């Protein structure tokens, strides 16, 4: 053990004591500058940290303001589009269903008038009995027993019966014809009922559309007013959209992976299996990936040309003729690529079968050949079908992709703002820690020289507060 | 963004220009046909079949006999660099197997065993193939026997080559004194490591052939 520091090497305790006293005296003498040094160090650390925290808070406010503006603008645009669509729907409905409504109404009224007239005719009373009925009555009052009268009466009865039968037949015929007329109006009544029902439904649909427009208009007004409710509603909507779009894209990625597996092996027949781009990445795998990405791009252009998505304003702004050309080109390429994939899927099956046959021939014990028949062809057909269908299914990822991109702006903005606020909080916290640490160090320093301080108090009798400025006060001034 | 795209394109272009042979595997198999070991040729066929089933398109395989003097291309029974197209590679493998079957059916035992000469020949073949991974499989009892004229006691170069000794059977004298067998394997290990080989491995259990091509 090195004893060079000992004042009395034979007595370590006394040496330590002497050195402690000396150190205490030295520290007491350096107390004021040391306090100042510690405090200034604390302030030096605290100042920039607080400044940084304040700047970050300002940046977060600016980001939040910018996010809010973008969010409201985006929401406003979206609601405008929806209202526009609702009005288009209403317009189409009115044009299609209610355009000929006045003519129809007039026709209906005419027909109803005719039916009423006919109905009135149907309700006519039978003609009154002829005048000779009174003569017959007079004859019947003649006394019985007159043979001539009896014969006349019998003749009259026969004539009356004959006339009655004739009149009754004619009357029935007239009623039959009226009933036929009425019967002829039955389909018309049904059609009338159907038409009126359709009109009623259309009116109901119009009513619903009007209610939807009202709801959208209310939303629009809130967005234009820029109130917190609208912002909160749009933010929640963006987060929901982001989550849904991400989920759909994950599912699509699964589909793309299956697609990749289908064509990676047969692609090695086209570009070679021995070429590598990196140690573990074959050229054939990259080629398969490129084909899948090209298919997804074609799907993107197809949906863009159909105006389902709006990721490329240049395509949306093209005239209809050019847009249709792009649509057909994208569709043709997509169908071609789907056909290529189906062929590759078939080739994959053949390659696997060939490899299997080779391995069987290399095996020591000969294995019996398996004859699957048509059942064995099901996987091949399934692979080909998948190879053809998956590109079209992948084409639709443009829709969730657009949703993800649009909602990602809001989600990213909110997360970035939160991150900046957290950073500001951490800086502020670190500043406070530095300030309190300097205080603690000052107090610890005084604890180390407590004996000289006690002596000073006893001897000088000067109040310490008056002698030394308050640390907090000084820091507050500097902060 | 533009810079990132340019960097990625350059990287891909550079990667695409890399020599594809660096990722391929070249295997040179030596079959000892000296003395009684010639009877083991059926097992050799098993190993060749395993290699044919395992090697990928773009890989190379050569099978050569170890005879009295084996530093010669004439001792190569069959050799092939498999086509990069899997279907063509399969056809090549079938033809390779036929060639090996025919050759091993007519194998004549040799008087001496020149393993060193065969290894030098194998190293030459592998270096010419330029593959990324190079393996020499020695199907032998590792008992080298040379005539008086043949000179093989000089340092050889097996830089970046793996050496795998397969089916190293015990000789009658090894059974009397196992130290001979262990000493023989130890000598070979020292010799190939001194020659710059990346690995020395002994596989006697033919059920564990999967370790032949596996990296250590």
What is the interface pTM, i.e. ipTM, of the complex? 0.78
Which pLDDT score is estimated for B4?
Answer: 39
Which pLDDT score is estimated for B5?
Answer: 46
Of the candidates B50, B52, B84, the beta carbon closest to that of A275 is on B84
Q: How many CA atoms lie within 13 A of A416 on its CB side?
A: 15
Residue of A nearest to B81 (CA): A274
Query: Smallest CA–CA separation between B112 and chain A, in Å?
Result: 30
Of the candidates A273, A350, A354, the beta carbon closest to that of B84 is on A273
Of the candidates B23, B46, B90, the beta carbon closest to that of A354 is on B90
Substitution target from B60, B86, B88 for chain A, most A beta carbons within 10 A? B86
Q: What is the pLDDT of residues B125-184, one digit of tens each?
A: 999 988 889 999 999 988 888 888 888 888 889 999 999 999 988 888 888 888 999 999
For chains A and B, CB pairs below 8 A equal 68
Residue of A nearest to B17 (CA): A277
Task: Say if B196 is an interface residue toward chain A (CB within 8 Å).
Answer: no
Which pLDDT score is estimated for B92?
Answer: 94
Task: Say if B24 is an interface residue toward chain A (CB within 8 Å).
Answer: yes
Residue of B nearest to A351 (CA): B87
- How far apart (Å, rounded) are the C-alpha atoms in residues A449 and A454? 9
Strand partners, B145: B113
Domain positions in chain A are: 98-221, 227-359+376-396
Query: Smallest CA–CA separation between B126 and chain A, in Å?
Result: 17
Domain positions in chain B are: 21-211
Task: Say if B9 is an interface residue toward chain A (CB within 8 Å).
Answer: no
> Which tokens hold the place of A55?
């700047």
Would you list which residues of chain A are within 8 Å, Cβ to Cβ, of chain B?
265, 268-269, 272-279, 283, 350-351, 354-355, 358-359, 361-364
* Torsion sign, CA atoms A165, A170, A175, A177: positive
CA end-to-end span of chain A, whole Å? 49
User: Which residues of chain A lie closer than 8 angstroms to B57, CB-CB?
Assistant: 268, 272-274
The answer to whether B52 contacts A358, with C-beta atoms less than 8 Å apart, is yes
Task: Say if B35 is an interface residue toward chain A (CB within 8 Å).
Answer: no
Residue A146 Cα to chain centre, angstroms? 107
Query: Smallest CA–CA separation between B53 and chain A, in Å?
Result: 6
The answer to whether B84 contacts A354, with C-beta atoms less than 8 Å apart, is no
Which superfamily, per CATH, for B21-211? von Willebrand factor, type A domain (3.40.50.410)
Task: Say if B85 is an interface residue toward chain A (CB within 8 Å).
Answer: yes
CA end-to-end span of chain B, whole Å? 42
* Torsion sign, CA atoms B70, B72, B78, B82: positive
User: Which residues of chain A lie closer than 8 angstroms to B54, CB-CB?
Assistant: none
Rg (C-alpha) for chain A, rounded Å, is 51
Sequential pLDDT tens for chain A (479 residues): 577 777 777 788 888 888 888 898 899 999 999 999 999 999 999 999 999 999 999 999 999 999 888 888 888 888 888 888 888 888 887 777 667 777 777 877 777 777 677 666 666 555 656 666 676 677 667 666 677 777 877 887 888 788 888 888 888 887 787 777 777 777 777 777 787 787 788 788 888 888 888 888 888 888 888 778 888 888 888 899 999 999 999 999 999 999 998 898 899 888 888 778 777 788 888 999 999 999 999 999 999 999 888 888 888 888 889 999 999 999 999 999 999 999 999 999 889 888 888 888 887 666 665 666 777 788 888 889 989 999 999 999 999 999 999 899 889 999 999 999 999 999 999 999 999 999 999 999 999 888 888 888 888 865 555 445 555 554 554 44
User: Which residues of chain B lie closer than 8 angstroms to A268, CB-CB?
Assistant: 57, 84-86
Q: DSSP string spanning B97-165? A: HHHHHHHHHT---BSSB-HHHHHHHHHHHHHHHT-SEEEEEEES----B--SS----S----TTEEEEE
User: Which residues of chain B lie closer than 8 angstroms to A362, CB-CB?
Assistant: 49-50, 52-53, 93, 97
- How far apart (Å, rounded) are the C-alpha atoms in residues A385 and A205? 41
Residue A351 Cα to chain centre, angstroms? 43
The answer to whether B86 contacts A361, with C-beta atoms less than 8 Å apart, is no
Question: Considering only CA atoms, which of A355, A373, A385 is closest in space to residue A266?
Answer: A355
Task: Say if B12 is an interface residue toward chain A (CB within 8 Å).
Answer: yes
Q: A105 near A192, Cβ under 8 Å?
A: no
Query: Smallest CA–CA separation between B10 and chain A, in Å?
Result: 13
Task: Say if B97 is an interface residue toward chain A (CB within 8 Å).
Answer: yes
């Amino acid at each position: 053990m090195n004893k060079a520091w000992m004042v009395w090497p034979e007595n370590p305790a006394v040496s330590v004591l002497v050195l402690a006293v000396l150190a205490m005296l030295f520290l007491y003498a350096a107390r004021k500058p040391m306090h100042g040094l510690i405090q200034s160090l604390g302030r030096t650390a605290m100042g920039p940290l607080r400044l940084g925290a304040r700047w970050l808070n300002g940046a977060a406010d600016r980001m939040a303001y910018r996010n809010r503006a973008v969010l409201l603008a985006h929401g406003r645009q979206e609601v405008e589009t929806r209202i526009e669509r609702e009005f288009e729907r209403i317009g189409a409905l009115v044009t299609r269903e209610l355009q000929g409504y006045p003519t129809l109404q007039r026709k209906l009224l005419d027909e109803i008038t005719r039916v009423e007239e006919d109905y009135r005719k149907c309700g006519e009373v039978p003609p009154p009995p002829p005048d000779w009925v009174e003569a017959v009555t007079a004859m019947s009052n003649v006394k019985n027993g007159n043979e001539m009268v009896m014969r006349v009466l019998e003749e009259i009865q026969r004539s009356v019966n004959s006339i009655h039968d004739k009149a009754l037949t004619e009357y029935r015929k007239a009623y039959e014809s009226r009933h036929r007329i009425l019967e002829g109006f039955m389909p018309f009544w049904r059609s009338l009922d159907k038409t009126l029902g359709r009109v009623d439904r259309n009116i109901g649909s119009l009513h619903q559309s009007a209610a939807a427009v009202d709801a959208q208009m209310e939303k629009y007004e809130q967005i234009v007013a820029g109130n917190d409710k609208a912002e909160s509603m749009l933010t929640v909507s963006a987060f929901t959209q982001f989550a849904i779009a991400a989920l759909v894209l994950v599912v699509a990625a699964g589909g793309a992976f299956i697609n990749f597996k289908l064509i990676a092996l047969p692609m090695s027949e086209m570009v070679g299996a021995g070429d590598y781009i990196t140690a573990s990445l074959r050229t054939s795998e990259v080629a398969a990936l490129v084909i899948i990405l090209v298919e997804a791009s074609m799907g993107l252009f197809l949906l863009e040309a159909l105006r389902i998505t709006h990721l490329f304003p240049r395509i949306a702004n093209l005239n209809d003729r050019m847009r249709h050309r792009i649509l057909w080109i994208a569709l043709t390429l997509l169908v071609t690529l789907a056909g290529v994939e189906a062929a590759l899927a078939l080739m994959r099956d053949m390659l696997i079968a060939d490899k299997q046959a080779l391995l069987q021939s290399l095996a020591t014990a000969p294995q019996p050949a398996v004859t699957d028949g048509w059942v064995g062809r099901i996987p091949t057909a399934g692979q080909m079908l998948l190879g053809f269908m998956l590109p079209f299914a992948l084409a639709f990822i443009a829709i969730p992709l657009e949703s993800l991109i649009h909602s990602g702006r809001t989600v990213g903005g909110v997360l970035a703002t939160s991150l900046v606020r957290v950073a500001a909080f951490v800086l502020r916290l670190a500043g406070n820690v530095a300030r309190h640490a300097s205080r603690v160090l000052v107090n610890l320093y005084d604890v180390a020289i407590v004996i000289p301080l006690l002596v000073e108090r006893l001897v000088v009798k000067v109040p310490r507060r008056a002698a030394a400025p308050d640390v907090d006060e000084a820091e507050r001034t500097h902060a | 963004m533009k810079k990132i795209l340019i960097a990625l394109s350059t990287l891909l272009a550079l990667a695409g220009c890399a020599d594809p042979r660096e990722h391929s595997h070249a295997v040179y198999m030596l079959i000892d046909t000296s003395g009684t070991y010639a009877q083991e040729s059926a097992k050799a066929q098993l190993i060749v079949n395993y290699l044919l089933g395992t090697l990928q398109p773009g890989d190379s395989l050569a099978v050569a006999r170890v005879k009295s003097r084996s530093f010669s291309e004439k001792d190569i029974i069959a050799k092939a660099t498999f086509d990069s197209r899997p279907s063509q590679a399969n056809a090549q493998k079938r033809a390779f197997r036929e060639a090996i079957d025919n050759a091993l059916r007519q194998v004549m035992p040799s008087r001496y065993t020149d393993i060193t000469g065969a290894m030098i020949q194998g190293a030459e073949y592998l270096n010419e193939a330029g593959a990324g991974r190079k393996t020499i499989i020695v199907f032998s009892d590792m008992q080298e026997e040379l005539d008086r004229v043949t000179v093989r006691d000089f340092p050889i170069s097996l830089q970046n080559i793996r050496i795998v000794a397969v089916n190293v059977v015990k000789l009658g004298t090894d059974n009397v004194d196992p130290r001979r067998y262990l000493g023989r394997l130890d000598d070979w290990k020292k010799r190939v490591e001194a020659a710059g080989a990346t690995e020395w491995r002994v596989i006697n259990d033919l059920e564990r052939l999967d370790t032949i091509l596996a990296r250590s």
